[in-house]
Copies of this chain bind each other. A is one copy, B any other.
């Protein structure tokens, strides 16, 4: 416990032989400074390695930044629950830094809902925006308005190409499919034919971006490269119709009794896991994505063998952090497209898969 001795504007002023007002004008290049004084001040700053005191600065300039967040709304246990819930934590974490977060949740199945919330959001006049752009076209239209007003924005989870986004944080989709195949087939596998089942969920809205297609490409890429004699059978399920799905799966396994390895490229692996449990087919290996609570249960009970996950809360934190850096310091990260780690989860490491976030602002 000792006392501070970092140098201040007053020190800079003394060294430069000017007043602290002049130093201030130089630092915030606010004009009204002669070239001579400017050079003296810059020299002094460098000489004594002056760094502004964040606390004094934040205290004196008593301003708040407002960040708007547009995420899909959610039902309990669904994919978007975690990012939504973690907003509250983030809010607390950045409150001390004079940053206010406002949310504009939209219906992920209704693009008009997105447009409505976007309008509402723009009307509030935010300083920066974070968006999960489920509706690519609508999001793209929104970017044009933000560009016009010079409001910086960041994409989460999905990316909208050819826009002026400040940064993007998400999973590498192709690679996550590739990784999935490598897990399902395992290392040291002798070559030879093998049958694999792939179940997708039918989508009705073609405007929605579908990362699953890219994942499947990655998956097939691995198989083509490493085990070209493997065969993948696709089948289509429905989001919530258990009876229908069970019938489809019964038919599928009757037709393909040799299929022991199963993959799903969305977050609904629990659908098939439920089937495997009820039909006593636990020997089949099932791979899924995203750590929903129900997926976690099936992972622990053995119906799901691998889950590939990313820390969705981390996307949020990194996104907000990037916006803060931009707003407060005009810092733009050198890396626009940021891919999150792909975490491999099994029954034996899932219990220790806790939050990795460290926030140092008290």
Question: What residues on B are CB-neighbors of A179 within 8 Å?
Answer: 346, 348-349
Question: What residues on B are CB-neighbors of A178 within 8 Å?
Answer: 348
On whether the beta carbons of A357 and B358 are closer than 8 Å, the reply is yes
A331-349: which have CB < 8 Å to B?
339-344, 346-349
A293 interfacial by beta-carbon distance below 8 Å: no
A142 interfacial by beta-carbon distance below 8 Å: no
Which of B1, B65, B354, B358 is within 8 Å of A65, CB to CB? B1
Q: How far is the CA of A26 from the CA of B140 in the complex (A)?
A: 54
Would A328 and B187 be within 8 Å (CB), given that A2-B66, A311-B356, A352-B172 are in contact? no
Q: How far is the CA of A361 from the CA of B93 in the complex (A)?
A: 9
The interface-forming segment of A48-56, A110-118, A246-254 is A48-56
Question: What residues on B are CB-neighbors of A362 within 8 Å?
Answer: 54, 97, 324-325, 328-329
Question: What residues on B are CB-neighbors of A55 within 8 Å?
Answer: 54-56, 58-59, 96
Question: What residues on B are CB-neighbors of A352 within 8 Å?
Answer: 172, 175, 339-342
On whether the beta carbons of A305 and B188 are closer than 8 Å, the reply is yes
A182 interfacial by beta-carbon distance below 8 Å: yes
Q: How far is the CA of A65 from the CA of B267 in the complex (A)?
A: 46
1/0 contact string of A167-182 vs chain B (CB within 8 Å): 0000010010011001
On whether the beta carbons of B343 and A343 are closer than 8 Å, the reply is yes
Q: How far is the CA of A351 from the CA of B171 in the complex (A)?
A: 12
* A174, chain B: closest CB distance, angstroms: 11
A224 interfacial by beta-carbon distance below 8 Å: no
Q: How far is the CA of A351 from the CA of B357 in the complex (A)?
A: 21
Question: What residues on B are CB-neighbors of A231 within 8 Å?
Answer: none
* A217, chain B: closest CB distance, angstroms: 15
Q: How far is the CA of A109 from the CA of B351 in the complex (A)?
A: 34
Question: What residues on B are CB-neighbors of A346 within 8 Å?
Answer: 179, 182-183, 187, 344
On whether the beta carbons of B188 and A318 are closer than 8 Å, the reply is no
* A5, chain B: closest CB distance, angstroms: 9
A330 interfacial by beta-carbon distance below 8 Å: no
Which of B222, B325, B349 is within 8 Å of A341, CB to CB? B349
A10 interfacial by beta-carbon distance below 8 Å: no
1/0 contact string of A231-261 vs chain B (CB within 8 Å): 0000000000000000000000000000010
A85 interfacial by beta-carbon distance below 8 Å: no
Question: What residues on B are CB-neighbors of A65 within 8 Å?
Answer: 1
Q: How far is the CA of A351 from the CA of B356 in the complex (A)?
A: 19
Q: How far is the CA of A318 from the CA of B360 in the complex (A)?
A: 9
Sample of 8 further A-B pairs with CB below 8 A, known A2-B63, A175-B348:
A3-B62, A55-B59, A182-B347, A187-B285, A341-B352, A341-B354, A359-B360, A361-B361
14 chain-A/chain-B pairs, Cβ below 8 angstroms: A1-B65, A2-B64, A54-B361, A182-B348, A188-B283, A188-B284, A188-B305, A317-B358, A317-B360, A324-B362, A325-B362, A356-B357, A360-B361, A361-B361
